[in-house]
Structure 1
């Protein structure tokens, strides 16, 4: 029987309202409420939504809008400076996280290939958790926000190369490993020219029509995201480039404010589908291993970022702040697990290990940030920063 999309929306957002209310009354992060709702309503819980995979593409749009809005507030000159500073830290930390993830998984009795895939999944930190819990003033106007953006963007590039590598290992990928390095500058230059010679003149002529500007922002974001995907990059990177190239527009801030409610709508769906996708029937087989791996990620990621950023002469306070905000694995890790499982490179137990570790680290790292660092959904008034 086809899934009723209206009923699905009702269940997601009415349920999110109820659980988010409970979360706020009990001083808990609302992100956790959305994940718990997915577990309750999904196919492995009450079964009210039997096919959450049908909602995944829609949920993915939230991540795309998040990166687009981020780009709207970052000038190109600032972006190059950030990437240059973050490159070495991102590369070294990714190698260390790979070794930690692969080593622990191998010691847990998984196969060598499972250990390699889990190690790859552990290299990345969550773009959504990192940026969603960062105050807007820090994200757009502080050095720590710039540093986090640089680290996450470089990790995204590494994630793309990882997905290409998995395709090559399966023997079905036609995308050469070098393609993203050629596609990225071509996409950036193409977007710059389109903005300069097409979009900015249109904005100047029709800036009185707010509905037109709203449609232009959405159309431009999704067009570049789709173009990036066709070129072998990720839709997220495409959306970010779309935002950066449009940041020079005088109405960039209006576009950013207009799209925030739309972004939040899709992000609720993202966290719901994350919770709904966990196979609770098999969770017992990997829960202790996932708890061990998640504990290692939650402890060692902040420590490693603190050490590496400290060597870059960053202050201890900033280094710990960035480390704890990036102290989880990523939504890209879930994509790596999905691709590897479909390619028969990863066992179902290995895939569930990654999923369980992702959710544990998402929840606990959110708690750590919400209760200890400035963020938009803090339960303490002194930490709440929008």
Structure 2
């Protein structure tokens, strides 16, 4: 599962910043660039809502395989698509595939592992999803500028298709409903707090992944470095949180501090990214690293809290809905704000959104 996840998420991450850049290069504006990410994530969220029913019928293996095909097969069509409506169509289909893949992966952590190992399993799953984003976000924009967009689109198609192959080694794995008995209408009540905190961080991630190449006042190397440190810090933060979770009393014990950290990191990026110059660029990259570290901890702790409160399948759906809806909302929101209040104001709004959620984050933990 981890091998498949790595390949699938690499195909996803390669195009996360490249597609908005492609839209702009074809003559469309920043709103259309944000809409490409927004449509992708909107389709992702729509697909995630039907995963439990699909998995109950055919199992996680087939649902994940179908997602890999939908994610990879349409990518080469971007080569032929020079108008933004066509790009949005491809993004919609790929988003549906990513929705199936993402929910199945996180749900399988709870399905395959005992509860005592859920935090560490989430940390390792974080590596399988985070390493592709660490390399893919930075490498995608660099490769598009160095070798051209065509090669990136082809690689982004091949990797998800290769990721389908390891799934053949999995059993059928129908959802296990032996966890905490929770009615569907009660799931929201038990998960909205960690979900909202996760959503706020994902809004920031979606905005940075979409608009760092467009608003950072620096050379392409600085853009790649910023995307690299954001995803790298998130990867280390999530993995470290998984290793340290057993030392913290109760699930979600680090959510409050991590929320403050990610908000402060976003604020630092907001005030320094558009300035330019060596000192401002260094500060912007540092802000990205601080944001990423805090968001990585939030990712892990939010999932563990959800596992403690609802069955794994429901936790996987809610976690991924919050994450992917946040990414899409961040891209669309900042795309709308840039023309009105500029990058400082746009990213500053996201920093404030995270910081005001500190009471929610502190109330989300599960004691004991």
- In terms of Rg, which structure is larger? 1
Using structure 1 for the length normalisation, give the TM-score.
0.30
Higher-helix-fraction structure: 2
